[in-house]
Chains A and B, each alone.
Chain A
Amino acid sequence: SQQGEEDPQALSIQEGENATMNCSYKTSINNLQWYRQNSGRGLVHLILIRSNEREKHSGRLRVTLDTSKKSSSLLITASRAADTASYFCATDPYSGAGSYQLTFGKGTKLSVIP
């Protein structure tokens, strides 16, 4: 079963707008990771946020984590056509949960219209 669930499934915006994607999960985690996948390509790691962190930035990316709500969000500011891709969250479960592997959601497909 998939731990992380992204929302929305698809998002279409104009170039220059901000894009927000959300991820919800079910069990305690060590960290949460966001990935980007361009069509037909592999997964590229974007940001890792640990369970004791609330917010993290990398360039135009901002990730927040709310462990009380078991949710995370990825904000892409001033979007570009090159940001068109699928975005996945992956949860690294707390070791006490008996699992050692990242589990992925089905992703959010972002389309940025020039």
Chain B
Amino acid sequence: NAGVTQTPKFQVLKTGQSMTLQCAQDMNHEYMSWYRQDPGMGLRLIHYSVGAGITDQGEVPNGYNVSRSTTEDFPLRLLSAAPSQTSVYFCASRARRETQYFGPGTRLLVL
């Protein structure tokens, strides 16, 4: 099993550009989530999904969109990048009431 994979590992964007962060898992997990991590802030939940076709907002959803058309994939879209979205983004997946597994992260710099 590859576990949770994320691409790209690092990205530089200009303000106003859009992009999609990819996330995939091969563990057949129902739950998938996107977090951002900023210095001193811990992990903050952006969006999550409890199954294909079902998504919901987390703590900091503004500026981001998600969709979940399959169990395996959960892409995160930045609609119009802003410097405040400079962060490290982690995707995670788990089965209900079980261990959550994280991807390696995507470092995003918005200029």
CB within 8 Å of B: which of A61-102?
88, 90, 92, 100-102
Docked-complex contact A106 and B50, CB < 8 angstroms: no
Is B97 a contact of A92 with CB atoms below 8 Å?
yes
* A interface secondary structure, majority: strand
List, in ascending order, chain A residues with CB within 8 A of B99's CB: 33, 45, 48
Partner among B31, B40, B42, B105 whose Cβ is within 8 Å of the Cβ of A101: B31
Q: How many residues of B contact A (CB 8 A)?
A: 26
Which of A1, A33, A102 has the most B CB atoms < 10 Å from its CB?
A102
**For B48, what are the chain A residues with a Cβ–Cβ distance below 8 Å?**
100-101
Q: Are the CB atoms of B102 and A43 closer together than 8 Å?
A: yes
Complex contact B43–A104 (CB within 8 A):
yes
Contact, CB under 8 Å: A107 / B59? no
Alpha-carbon separation in the docked complex, A45 to B94 (Å): 12
5 other A-B residue contacts (CB within 8 Å) besides A102-B92, A104-B43: A42-B90, A45-B99, A48-B99, A102-B33, A102-B100
